Chain A
């Protein structure tokens, strides 16, 4: 088990598109474990993508049940080669990202999502997600394409500095 440092911008890996990952790759289970362990170390973190912890793999973890605003969810998800099959019910919501610790942004995301992927054991998955879980998945899938939440801002009023009490 390892908790890895989370890369923050401008690390170049964050802007890179991750290659398709072989679901049978023997290194995969360790990568997913790193993602789970690292996410667990950050309170309030509900998702992490492989490039954020320096792994050049197309996989991610999401667990919105860690948040009080979770809504309906699948608990801990570890997905390999996730792809969005259907997206609907678009809504603007505020997001943060561990790779930009001091910024928040309003981003438009689908509230209803169907995602195809492989699980940690190489089985195909077809997931229907809603609300916060759908939003978290879109944010993490974007990371696998080198797309960061700032790239999705649509108005100058949609970027905020995070106010820290400490």
Chain B
């Protein structure tokens, strides 16, 4: 069974970060199994799930990464995934997308995320945008969630209804259906 590792790195954005990181991984014979990389204002953030070739331990990789991180000003961490983590498909769930938008104020993400956490609803992706509104900045939040079952879905709908009034934001919950084109 192949060894899987999770790698995260963040640092001041500049051209060449992705090339430098992926070059090391390529030269060490690693595969990129999954990745998410994005720029947040001036910083660049990298999340990678990599598989290591037979014979390569985490230590061997770590040294090379340390050098690259030093050169490019990145803070990084890497950890091996246990076989259970690596093979976990997760429990069956109802995938949904939650859209929240309204006048920007502190606590929107926290309140929404806490409601989800209380119901054992898992957040699998979250993006936020702050844009110009008519009077004040507009905050929009899109969250992809996995709801463990029908009861949790109904409970979430009830809680969101209350949150809508409390936070004075719009909230919609849509099933995340696949597109059939």
Question: A residues within 8 Å of B by Cβ?
Answer: 7-11, 15, 90-92, 100-103, 108, 148, 150-159, 161
User: Does B103 interact with chain A (Cβ within 8 Å)?
Assistant: yes
How many angstroms from the CA of A108 to the CA of B176 in the assembled complex? 12
- Complex contacts, B150 vs chain A, CB 8 Å: none
Determine if A103 and B129 form an interchain contact, defined as CB atoms under 8 angstroms apart: yes
Interface of A is mostly: mixed
- Complex contacts, B86 vs chain A, CB 8 Å: none
Determine if B138 and A9 form an interchain contact, defined as CB atoms under 8 angstroms apart: yes
- Complex contacts, A90 vs chain B, CB 8 Å: 179-181
Q: State which of A7, A155, A159 has its C-beta within 8 Å of the C-beta of B129.
A: A159
Question: B residues within 8 Å of A by Cβ?
Answer: 97, 99, 101-103, 125-127, 129, 131-135, 138, 140, 142-144, 170, 172, 174, 176-177, 179-181
- Complex contacts, A151 vs chain B, CB 8 Å: 99, 170, 172
In the complex, which of the residues A92, A153, A157 has the most CB atoms of chain B within 10 Å of its own CB atom? A153
How many angstroms from the CA of A49 to the CA of B106 in the assembled complex? 32
- Complex contacts, B177 vs chain A, CB 8 Å: 154
How many angstroms from the CA of A92 to the CA of B125 in the assembled complex? 20
Determine if B131 and A155 form an interchain contact, defined as CB atoms under 8 angstroms apart: no
Determine if A103 and B140 form an interchain contact, defined as CB atoms under 8 angstroms apart: yes
Known contacts A8-B134, A9-B134, A92-B179, A154 near B97 by CB under 8 Å: yes
**Closest Cβ neighbor of A162 among chain B residues:** B131
Determine if B133 and A8 form an interchain contact, defined as CB atoms under 8 angstroms apart: yes
Known contacts A103-B129, A108-B179, A159-B129, A153 near B134 by CB under 8 Å: no
- Complex contacts, B133 vs chain A, CB 8 Å: 8-10
